[in-house]
Amino acid sequence: MLRSLFLAAAGSSRIGRLVESAPVSRGIVQRFVAGHSADEVLQVSRELADDGLAVSLDHLGEDTRTIEQAVAARDEYLSVVGRLKGAGLTPAVEVSVKLSALGQRMDEKLAYEHARAICAAAAEAGTTVTLDAEDHGSTDATLETLVELRRDFPSTGAALQAHLRRTEGDCRELSTAGSRVRLCKGAYAEPESVAFQSALDVDKSFVRCLNILMSGEGYPMVATHDPRLIAIAEDRARWFDRSTSEYEFQMLYGVRAEEQSRLVGSGHTVRVYLPYGAEWYGYVMRRLADRPANMAFLARAVTSRN
Which residue lies nearer to ligand FAD by CB, 81 or 131? 131
Q: Which member of 219, 247, 273, 276 binds ligand FAD (CB under 6 A)?
A: 273
Residue 187 to residue 231: CA distance in whole angstroms: 21
Residue 44 to residue 211: CA distance in whole angstroms: 34
Contact 130, 182 (CB under 8 A): yes
Which residue lies nearer to ligand FAD by CB, 112 or 249? 249
Count of chain residues binding ligand FAD (CB under 6 A): 24
128: contact with ligand FAD by CB under 6 A: no
Q: Which member of 53, 60, 122, 184 binds ligand FAD (CB under 6 A)?
A: 184
Please report how close the Cβ of residue 116 comes to ligand FAD at its closest, in angstroms: 19
9: contact with ligand FAD by CB under 6 A: no
Identity at 172, one-letter amino acid code: R
Distances (CA, A) of 254 to 10, 201, 213: 19, 26, 27
Of 12, 23, 46, 32, residue with least CA distance to 277: 32
Residue 28 to residue 17: CA distance in whole angstroms: 15
Of 127, 75, 71, residue with least CA distance to 96: 127
- If you ran DSSP here, which 8-state letter would residue 133 be given? P
| Beta strand pairing call for 248-252 and 219-223 | parallel
Considering only 46-54, 79-87, 107-115, 284-292, which stretch makes contact with ligand FAD by CB under 6 A?
Answer: 284-292
Please report how close the Cβ of residue 78 comes to ligand FAD at its closest, in angstroms: 21
Catalytic residue, from 182, 236, 271, 287: name it: 182
Distances (CA, A) of 134 to 62, 99, 141, 186, 263: 9, 9, 11, 8, 27
Q: Which member of 226, 240, 264, 302 binds ligand FAD (CB under 6 A)?
A: 226
Q: Which helix (H) or strand (E) holds 286?
A: helix 281-290
Contact 296, 2 (CB under 8 A): yes
188: contact with ligand FAD by CB under 6 A: yes
Please report how close the Cβ of residue 289 comes to ligand FAD at its closest, in angstroms: 8
Which residue lies nearer to ligand FAD by CB, 67 or 231? 231
Is 182 assigned a catalytic role?
A: yes
Footprint of ligand FAD on 18-47 (CB under 6 A): none
Identity at 294, one-letter amino acid code: N
Please report how close the Cβ of residue 224 comes to ligand FAD at its closest, in angstroms: 3
What sign does the dihedral 70-75-76-81 (CA atoms) show? positive
Please report how close the Cβ of residue 86 comes to ligand FAD at its closest, in angstroms: 25
Which residue lies nearer to ligand FAD by CB, 9 or 252? 252
142: contact with ligand FAD by CB under 6 A: no
186: contact with ligand FAD by CB under 6 A: yes
Q: Which member of 62, 132, 170, 248 binds ligand FAD (CB under 6 A)?
A: 132
Catalytic residue, from 132, 135, 170, 203: name it: 132
212-233: b (≥16 Cβ within 10 Å) or e: bbbebebbbbbbbbbeebbebb
Binding site for ligand FAD (CB under 6 A): 132-133, 159, 161, 182, 184-188, 223-226, 250-252, 255-256, 273, 287, 290-291, 294
Where in the sequence numbering do the catalytic residues fall? 132, 182
